[in-house]
Amino acid sequence: MSDFTSNFWSVYVAGITLVSILACALLLWFSGQATAMTANDNTTGHVWDGDLREMNNPLPRWWVWLFVITIVFALVYLVMYPGLGTFGGKLGWSQADQYKAEVEKGDREVAPLYAKFAAMTPEDMSRDPKAMAIGERLFMNNCSQCHGSDARGSKGFPNLTDGDWLHGGEPDKIKETLNLGRIGNMPPMAAAVGTADDVKNVAHYVLSLSNSPHDSVRANLGKDKFMVCAACHGPDGKGNQALGAPNLTDNIWLHGVGEATIVAQINNGKINQMPAQGERLSAGQIQVLTSYVWGLSNNAKAK
């Protein structure tokens, strides 16, 4: 990685840029100085398709000057704006600063709208058509890539419409999740459970907790070994929202169900991450999005 912390690449990029512009200028100059061998009729002797002859006429003046202007413009641009390695340009412009300025401008323009929502409770906001229209667009732009446009999720991505929450479904918890993100980490537990057969027995006991298809004999053998898992999932398997440990009794499976799937998770563990949105979205946007997500499951229940 030392190549990326040295000054070499900056000098390399700047050098290639300047040499390329200089090469264009030299090409223009040499082409203007060169004299082609021509016949008496001012042709070069090159003939195509029987009667198309190449003339030895100079480039039009407007074309030459356009070329010169382009070279001058390139040099002026590189002095004023970034383009020569790490040189930032005399104007101090950057894409990051422009993006930040545009975001701040957009936030100022919509601030009065979000100020109206700030006085509303999440429950009331989730029933406000205007707030929910904004919340839907925020969800589509920032959340649907993982949770789906219908918010029903997919394998590895939680369904936000069913009321099953790993860390809690109250508005404050949803807001916390949106702001800070979440990292779910189940460590590999095979060594703590015992033999490969013990792992299979625990898998069948886990399946039995939700009445999923299982081997009852193996499930009975795995019950005592499940105590290794109870530290997070609880002795009754109902999970622990403080830890983000799933409820194993509700027949909702984030990563799939079946002996092979559960055995793989016991053996290998599982890490899931939801990125934090607090640095990308304003406080007002987070509040509206919180109400929208909360309403996906709670408003459906009310109906």
- pLDDT at residue 55, as a whole number: 77
In angstroms, the Cα distances linking 253 to 121, 206, 211 are 32, 11, 13
Same domain, 223 and 280: no
Same domain, 193 and 260: yes
Overall pTM surpassing 0.85 (yes/no): no
- Residues contacting 121, CB < 8 A, separation 6+: none
Same domain, 286 and 160: yes
Average pLDDT over residues 130-142: 95
Average pLDDT over residues 170-184: 95
pLDDT at 31 exceeding the cut of 90: no
Q: How confident is the model at residue 36 (pLDDT cuts 50, 70, 90)?
A: low
pLDDT at 197 exceeding the cut of 60: yes
Residue 14 burial (10 A CB sphere; 0-12, 13-18, 19+): middle
- Residues contacting 173, CB < 8 A, separation 6+: 165, 167, 241
Under 8 Å between Cβ of 182 and 282: no
Same domain, 110 and 55: no
pLDDT at 287 exceeding the cut of 50: yes
Give strand pairing partners of 265: none
Residues in the chain: 303
Same domain, 281 and 168: yes
- pLDDT at residue 38, as a whole number: 64
- State how many domains the chain has: 3
* Percentage with pLDDT > 90 across the chain: 67
pLDDT at 34 exceeding the cut of 80: no
Write out pLDDT tens, residues 223-238. Answer: 999 999 999 999 999 9
Domain of residue 143: give its range.
Answer: 101-181+275-302
DSSP 279: T
Q: How confident is the model at residue 240 (pLDDT cuts 50, 70, 90)?
A: very high
pLDDT at 30 exceeding the cut of 80: yes
As a whole number of angstroms, the distance between CA 226 and CA 220 comes to 10
pLDDT at 297 exceeding the cut of 70: yes
Look at 4 and 13; give whichever has higher pLDDT: 13
Same domain, 121 and 190: no
Q: How confident is the model at residue 85 (pLDDT cuts 50, 70, 90)?
A: confident
DSSP percent split of the chain into helix, strand, coil, nearest 5: 55, 10, 35
> Is residue 206 situated within a structural domain?
yes
Under 8 Å between Cβ of 126 and 132: yes
- pLDDT at residue 1, as a whole number: 43
CATH number, residue 161: 1.10.760.10
- pLDDT at residue 300, as a whole number: 56
What average pLDDT does the chain have? 90
Average pLDDT over residues 29-36: 76
Least confident of 60-64, 180-184, 239-243, 253-257: 60-64
Same domain, 107 and 56: no
pLDDT at 302 exceeding the cut of 50: no
pLDDT at 131 exceeding the cut of 90: yes
> Is residue 121 situated within a structural domain?
yes
Least confident of 42-51, 69-78, 130-139: 42-51
Same domain, 107 and 175: yes
Same domain, 191 and 267: yes
As a whole number of angstroms, the distance between CA 202 and CA 221 comes to 8
- pLDDT at residue 174, as a whole number: 96
